[in-house]
Structure 1
Amino acid sequence: MPDAPITRLMLITPALDEIDAFEAALEAAVAAGDVAAVVIRLAPADDRTRLSRAKTLVEAAQAEGAAALLAGDGVEDLVGKSGADGFHADDAASAIEAIERFRPEKIVGCGPLVSRDEAMAVGEAGADYVLFGDDFGGRPFAETLERVAWWVPIFQTPCVGVAQTLDDVSALAGERVEFAALGEAVWRHAEGPASATAMAGSMIALAKAPAP
């Protein structure tokens, strides 16, 4: 039997309307663990302001070895200009359009995906990953875990499961998900984002440790 994939972390930022205080937190969080990618969500603003914010955060993520993906309404035109590694779409239709536009030069992922049919359509279209769940409490984590458990053994397209709490990371790693995504659980952690990322990494290591 082939070795199970090693779960890596993905960080999802809040919808950012200012970045002065956030940049340092992002750098610290990415540096503290095995963070494969950061989804940078940009709040609405004029194009010049958004591009400036995108460039700063893209460079911060990439400097620590993480891929930087832009997300948010109308950010597609900023992907190339900002130096981002790719685009994260919020729905299947947008993802399929982005795949045609950006692949294979850029990474394209999509989520949260609710229906199985949409997830399969995005995977078949050539997405680099599909994402299940959210960290806003809109859908229960048990549903995310069920979708991950269905997807991982069947499909080759990598899967992202969103952990609503740090404890959820262990459950996702136990399902052999390729990426465990964290949002508010990192940025609002009482001991700071770096501590949260480090703790999540430790949970993944424990989940992957062989049974005695």
Structure 2
Amino acid sequence: MSAAKTPPRPVTRLMLVTPELADIETFEPMLEAAVSAGDVAAVVIRLAPADERTRLSRAKALVQIVHAEGAAALLCGEDIEDIVGRSGADGVHVATPGEDIAEIVARFQPEKIVGCAPQSRDGAMSAGEAGCDYVLFGEDFGGAPFPATLERVEWWVPIFETPCVAFAQTLEDVAPLAALDAEFVALGEALWRHEGGPATAMAGVGATLSLVKAPTP
């Protein structure tokens, strides 16, 4: 009789986080290459400060690229709440959630996604209680360095129902975060600055996730 195989582990999907964008023309082909090269669940589009008309135009163009590959588009930046609906975005990412996070959730849900990057355990629990769709732990939004991110993810995943996004500062960080069964791993500068380009980086990340999540014979 053959030994029973270990069931597959929970899937870890990818979230991409753009730089703060002012000039989108040079970034658009990079974004298209990245989202078409892997299993991307969502893209956080960070918009640089500008007048409302300019930000809306940039958001629409980037959201269209993300949607073309079947991923969700979330806006992040100052005063972006008023352009979410008009841009076609699927929701908002709140980089520095405060006491108003419950108000933001009430404003956008259930039609839109609301995610955030809490800076402490208490903040994360408050965000979960407020009904955020996910919490993101990691350095790119002013969070803790990578070892602390690992510790935060290891604490959160087994206990809380709110999905966890774990930020990978390097491509090598993807494996240990996926091994903790984070629902999502976020990639930022490590992806956009990869010497082989974002598509090459995504291929490597996809291979890493497949290896980490492969069932044990």
Q: TM-score of the superposition, structure 2-length normalised? A: 0.93
Cα gap change, 1:125 to 1:139, in 2 (>3 Å): closer
1:83-125 CA-partner distances (Å, limit 9, x unpaired):
00000001232532210100010000001x2211110010011
Aligned to 1:105, which of 106, 111, 123? Answer: 111
Identity across aligned pairs (percent)?
Answer: 65
8 Å CA contact 2:95, 2:141 repeated in 1: no
**Native 8 Å contact 1:132 1:144 kept in 2:** yes
Which of 84, 87, 93 aligns to 1:88? It is: 93
Given the alignment of the two structures, is residue 145 of structure 1 paired with residue 143 of structure 2, yes or no?
A: no
How well do the aligned residues superpose, as a CA RMSD in angstroms?
1.6
What 5-or-longer segments of structure 1 have no aligned partner?
Answer: none
Q: Indicate the residue corresponding to 1:184 in structure 2.
A: 189
> In the comparison of the two structures, how many residue pairs are matched?
211
Please tell me whether residue 119 in structure 1 is matched to residue 124 in structure 2: yes
Residue 67 (structure 1) aligned with residue 72 (structure 2): yes
Give CA-to-partner distance per residue, 1:117-152, whole Å, 9 cap, x none.
110010011110000002388732010010000000
Mapped to 2, the partners of 1:146 and 1:98 lie a distance apart of 28
TM-score, length-scaled by structure 1: 0.95
**TM-fit CA distance, 1:3:** 5.8
Q: Which moved more, 1:198-207 or 1:159-168?
A: 198-207
1:196 corresponds to 2:198 = no
Larger radius of gyration: 2
**Structure 2, unpaired ranges of 5+:** 1-5
Q: Contact 2:8–2:213 at 8 Å: present in 1 too?
A: no
Moved over 4 A (4+): none
> In structure 1, how many angstroms separate the alpha carbons of the residues matched to 2:128 and 2:142?
25
Q: Equivalents in 1 of 2:141, 2:42: separation in Å?
A: 20
Deviates more, 1:52-61 or 1:136-145: 136-145
Following superposition of structure 1 onto structure 2, how do residues 122-137 of structure 1 map, counting pairs within 5 Å? 122-135=127-140
| Compared CA separation, residues 137 and 155, structure 1 to 2 (3 A) | closer
Contact 1:137 1:164 survives alignment (8 Å): no
Please state whether the residue corresponding to 2:55 is helix, strand or coil.
Answer: helix
